[in-house]
């Protein structure tokens, strides 16, 4: 069987702010069609890595390729990549002065070529896709609950029918029921839309429910594997994370009843 295509390839990455080195000679790859979780302790640069891939932060050294294109040095490759991905930042990062529908239409307006009537119709479709009612469209973000804002942000991330979806702490701030519902939504969308998903998270429940593989940022590099594989590694942070009290609770809840 042929190896799965890498949709993202990061090699030799060095991230440095002043004298502080966050990543050193880091390699990171994501296969087409998988859900890749990204975990790590505080200060290990999880969100920074995501922002480097999408071009918001430029690394000190290294190469980043998305969909085969050199997004660090080729403006055309970066433009093509941006048209092929969607991003959900923490708490949705919606524009407060725009309605939910107008927020969803922002990427459509940037691309251009669509009538207002068509954009209105597409916004309604995206709302339905993420489980929001049509009457959420005319509302402003401040009128929505935290969970609804995340769904609205996800609808905007899906506005241009991307192949690749980046999620930064998608369940942070949600209650357990809301977080579980959002995990289920992500997995269902990934399967139905054939998405590749990169999800920065600290939530063990999300890792169990959604991810195919996990990239753990430790010692300025990445250790990659399934949850079962990472749990077998004798590395201090990994053992603390995957064998701590919370991890045992999650494992207990995930175990089938006898």
- As a whole number of Å, the end-to-end CA separation of the chain is 36
Map tokens 């597409």 to a residue.
Answer: 122
Q: What pTM did the predictor assign?
A: 0.90
In a domain, 43, yes or no: yes
Q: Which of 128, 161, 194 is the last residue of a domain?
A: 161
Check whether residue 63 and residue 167 sit in a common domain: yes
Ordered per-residue pLDDT tens for the chain, 258 residues: 456 799 999 999 999 999 999 999 999 999 999 999 999 999 999 999 999 999 999 999 999 999 999 999 999 999 999 999 999 987 668 999 999 999 999 999 988 889 999 999 999 999 999 999 999 999 999 999 989 999 999 999 999 999 999 999 999 888 999 999 999 999 999 999 999 999 999 899 999 999 999 999 999 999 999 999 999 999 999 999 988 755 555 545 444 444
In a domain, 121, yes or no: yes
In a domain, 229, yes or no: no
Domain total for the chain? 2
The pLDDT value given to residue 257: 45
Check whether residue 141 and residue 13 sit in a common domain: no
Check whether residue 60 and residue 185 sit in a common domain: yes
Structural domain of 117: 92-161
Q: Is the dihedral of CA 48, 49, 51, 55 positive or negative?
A: positive
Check whether residue 69 and residue 7 sit in a common domain: yes
Let me know: does 38 contact 215? Beta carbons within 8 Å: yes
How many whole angstroms separate alpha carbon 113 and alpha carbon 168? 30
Using DSSP's 3-state secondary structure scheme, residue 35 falls into strand
The pLDDT value given to residue 123: 97
Tokens read off for 102: 């107008």
Instruction: Strands of 18-156 (E only): list them.
Output: 20-31, 35-40, 61-66, 69-70, 85-88
Check whether residue 109 and residue 141 sit in a common domain: yes
């Amino acid at each position: 069987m042929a190896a799965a295509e890498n949709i993202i390839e990061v090699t030799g990455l060095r991230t440095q702010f002043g004298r502080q080195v966050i990543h050193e000679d880091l390699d990171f790859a994501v296969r087409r069609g998988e859900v890749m979780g990204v975990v790590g302790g505080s200060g290990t640069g999880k969100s920074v890595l995501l922002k480097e891939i999408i071009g918001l932060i430029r690394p000190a050294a290294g190469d980043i390729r998305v969909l085969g294109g050199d997004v660090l040095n080729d403006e055309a490759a970066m433009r093509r990549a941006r048209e092929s991905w969607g991003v959900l930042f923490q708490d949705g990062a919606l524009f407060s002065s725009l309605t939910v529908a107008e927020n969803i239409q922002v990427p459509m307006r940037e691309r251009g070529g669509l009538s207002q009537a068509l954009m209105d119709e597409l916004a309604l479709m995206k709302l339905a896709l993420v489980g929001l009612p049509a009457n959420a469209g005319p509302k402003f973000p401040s009128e929505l609950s935290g969970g609804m804002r995340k769904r609205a942000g996800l609808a905007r991330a899906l506005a241009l029918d991307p192949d690749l979806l980046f999620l930064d702490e998608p369940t942070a701030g949600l209650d357990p029921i809301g977080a579980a519902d959002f995990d289920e939504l992500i997995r269902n969308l990934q399967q139905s839309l054939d998405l590749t998903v990169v999800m920065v998270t600290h939530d063990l429940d999300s890792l169990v429910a959604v991810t195919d593989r996990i990239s753990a940022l430790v010692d300025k590099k990445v250790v990659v594997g399934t949850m079962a594989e990472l749990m077998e590694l004798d590395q201090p942070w990994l053992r603390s994370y995957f064998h701590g009290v919370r991890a045992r609770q999650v494992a207990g809840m995930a175990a089938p009843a006898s």
